A and B are shown apart, each in its own frame.
Chain A
Amino acid sequence: MLSYDVVIIGGGPAGLAAAIAARESGCERVLVIERDDRLGGILNQCIHNGFGLHTFKEELTGPEYAARYEDRAHEVGVEFSLGSMVIDVSSDLVVHAVSQERGVYGVQAGAVVLAMGCRERPRGALAIPGYRPAGIYTAGTAQRLVNMEGQMPGREVVILGSGDIGLIMARRMTLEGAHVACVAELMPYSGGLKRNIVQCLDDYGIPLLLSHTVTRIEGRKRVEAVWIAKVDEQRRPIPGTEVRYACDTLMLSVGLLPENELSREAGVALSPVTRGPLVDESLQTSVPGVFACGNVLHVHDLVDYVSQEADAAGRCAAHYALGKRSPDVQEDGPAEAERVLLLEVESGVRYTVPSTIDPARMDERLTVRFRVDNVYRDRFVSVYVGDERIMHRKKRVLAPGEMEEVVLKRADLLERAHAERIVVKLEED
């Protein structure tokens, strides 16, 4: 059986950054297994600009951002298996994949990095009443058809959900000559970035209907119309508010789900909130030697943060494979008693990544990412270690669509030796 120090499942932005980091951390043999016949993952179809502002201080398109990481990965000697679909990962770190060239093959890994990304929530998962005709597309599928296949999924479009892909596709379809009648959003706020609302909707006069949803789909063969109703505070359609929109296409941008089927089968414990693996300070899952990063861990809105997170996962996986503990911890330093702090969330915070921290094993500084559950203005992001508040930072605005972060210092956690938990929450003062 083939053997590698680190095997990375997925060659999108997360997988590429993790692979580069693993090589740069001293692993000789690093393999990326990618199901598509090209690297870059979803970035290949994200042809719009706006990627890399944090990483490269310039506005790149998705393919350009991917190309930079792809080039770097080649430079540092990462190996690739393209057109290979991973079919299972075992708890003893054997990865099985299948490809046309090699059939079913196994790879023994020193450490595995899960970087499979996410998928779109389909129409079926919303249980929208009506027919099941042609012309119902998730925004990402439509994006692939238009941008990569050069095909046109529809002319008269209604979009449900104001996630960023939906907003981007509203503009894209308009530029390609379609008419986008409206974007309906169930929530009273948009899940997309403000910039996308202005540049993808306002620029083209496309209305954003907040607190609205699709209540019915008409058309037996192809979509002929959808009905859109206003919803009340419990998100239930308000009778009598339905408006019929004649259209040939309903596009959905109603959420992304981390794709963790392989993880689940490998025995990785998943968070019911993120639907991604529960990870510790090294982004290691409940299965020793299996790490996770990017959208398979939790759905991100900026690729720059995916790259940062994957860099950390790649480094930690490399250290695991090489038998080291953590980048900053002296290998032969004093073995401290293991003390795992639980990261818990309260008022306003939905989840954190990671969900546990062992201060003895963490880097000197550790980024903890989280999302809030509603739109908040003028709140404090607070971090408590035990009963002691160690961070209290005012934010003008917090929204579910924007990932937040706090940076914890190892010293702060080591000092408070008796604390058992860390709490991240929002406070009014």
Chain B
Amino acid sequence: MAREERELICINCPLGCPLVVTLEDGVVQSVAGNTCKRGDAYGRKEVTSPTRIVTSSVPVDGSARDTMVSVKTATDIPKDKIFDVMRALEGVRLSAPVAIGDVVVADVAGTGVDVVATRRA
């Protein structure tokens, strides 16, 4: 049976509790070091399926004011897909007008999540 301990810092509040998450065969057995329930939940998620929102900006044509439009993944995506998302954004150019929420890349990097604009242009 593969037993593993992972050390993390909880990000829920400024306290920054040092967490020790114990896994057995990839299944969380316990979270230690936390001082509240949110720390327990964070520890479990962070070792099993850590996710992040990715933000970037891409060039836009035809806007009098803007050179770039900021974008984000509409929801969080698996952490190990961050650079895949960045690669998918390479070469993407938008044309004005752009509205907040416009889909820039659909189902980016096979995550099932769209990249959407976060700025009007």
Task: Name A residues whose Cβ lies closer than 8 Å to a Cβ of B.
Answer: 37-38, 44, 47-49, 59-64, 67, 146-150, 175-176, 193-195, 197-199, 202-203, 396-399, 401-402
Out of A148, A176, A198, name the residue touching B67 (CB < 8 Å).
A148
Within the complex, which residue of A202, A396, A401 is in contact with B35, where a contact is CB–CB below 8 Å?
Answer: A396
A61 in contact with B118 given A175-B56, A202-B9, A203-B79 (CB within 8 Å):
yes
Answer whether A149 and B67 are a contact pair too, CB < 8 Å, given A47-B55, A64-B118, A402-B14: yes
Q: Which residues of A contact B118 (CB under 8 A)?
A: 47, 60-61, 63-64
- A37:B67 contact, CB within 8 angstroms: no
Bound complex: CA of A146 vs CA of B86, how far in Å?
Answer: 14
Q: What residues of chain A lie closer than 8 Å to B68, measured between beta carbons?
A: 147-150
Q: Which residues of A contact B28 (CB under 8 A)?
A: none
What's the nearest-Cβ distance from chain A to residue B5, in Å? 17
Task: For B52, give the chain A residue with the smallest CB separation.
Answer: A199
The answer to whether A199 touches B59, judged by C-beta atoms less than 8 angstroms apart, is no
In the complex, what residue of chain A is closest to B79 when comparing beta carbons? Answer: A203
Residues on A with C-beta less than 8 A from B57 are: 47, 146-148, 150
Q: How far is the CA of A397 from the CA of B18 in the complex (A)?
A: 14
CB pair B11 A59 closer than 8 Å: no
Cross-chain contact A64 with B67 (CB below 8 angstroms): no
Extra inter-chain contacts (4) besides given A48-B55, A194-B9, A194-B13, CB under 8 Å? A47-B118, A64-B119, A67-B119, A150-B59
Q: How far is the CB of A215 from chain B (nearest CB, A)?
A: 29
The docked-state distance in angstroms from the alpha carbon of A126 to that of B100 is 40
A199 touches B15 (CB 8 A): no
Q: Which residue from chain A places its CB closest to the CB of B15 in the assembled complex?
A: A397
Q: Are A147 and B100 within 8 A (Cβ)?
A: no
The A interface, classified by DSSP as helix, strand, loop or mixed, is: mixed
CB pair B65–A38 under 8 Å, yes or no, is yes
Q: How far in angstroms is the closest Cβ of chain A from B41?
A: 15
Report which residue of A47, A60, A146, A195 has the largest number of chain B beta carbons within 10 angstroms of its beta carbon.
A47
In the complex, which residues 1-46 of chain B have their Cβ closer than 8 Å to any Cβ of chain A? Answer: 9-11, 13-16, 35
Per the bound structure, the CA–CA distance linking A38 and B65 in Å amounts to 8
The number of chain B residues with a CB under 8 A from chain A is 30
Least CB distance, B79 to chain A, in whole angstroms: 7
Closest to B72 in A: A61
Check: B53 CB closer than 8 A to any chain A CB: yes
How far is it, in angstroms, between the C-alpha of A193 and the C-alpha of B53 when the chains are bound? 17
User: A67: which B residues are within 8 A, CB to CB?
Assistant: 100, 119-120
**In whole angstroms, how far apart are the Cα atoms of A176 and B86 in the complex?**
8
What are the residues of chain B within 8 A of A59 when measuring CB–CB? 53
CA distance A202 to B35 in the complex (A): 22
Measured between beta carbons, the chain A residues less than 8 angstroms from B56 are 47, 175
Contact A397 B14, beta carbon cutoff 8 Å: yes
Residues of B contacting A148 with CB < 8 Å? 57, 66-68
Q: If the complex has contacts A47-B118, A147-B68, are A203 and B52 also in contact, measured as CB distance less than 8 A?
A: yes
Judging by beta carbons under 8 Å apart, are B67 and A150 in contact?
yes
Is there an interface contact between A198 and B35, defined as CB atoms closer than 8 Å? no
In B92-112, the 8 Å CB interface with A consists of 100
A196 to chain B, nearest CB (A): 9
Question: Are B119 and A399 in touch, CB under 8 angstroms?
Answer: no
- Once the chains are docked, how many angstroms separate the CA of A61 from the CA of B115? 13
| Chain B residues, Cβ within 8 Å of A197 | 9
* Closest chain B CB from A198 CB (angstroms): 5
Residues of A within 8 A of B113 (CB): none
**Nearest chain-A residue to B117 (Cβ)?**
A63
A47 pairs with B86, CB closer than 8 A: no
Which chain B residues border A202 with CB–CB below 8 Å? Answer: 9
CA distance A399 to B14 in the complex (A): 8
Cβ of A199: which chain B residues have Cβ within 8 Å of it?
11, 52
Q: How far does the alpha carbon of A176 sit from the alpha carbon of B118 in the complex, in Å?
A: 18
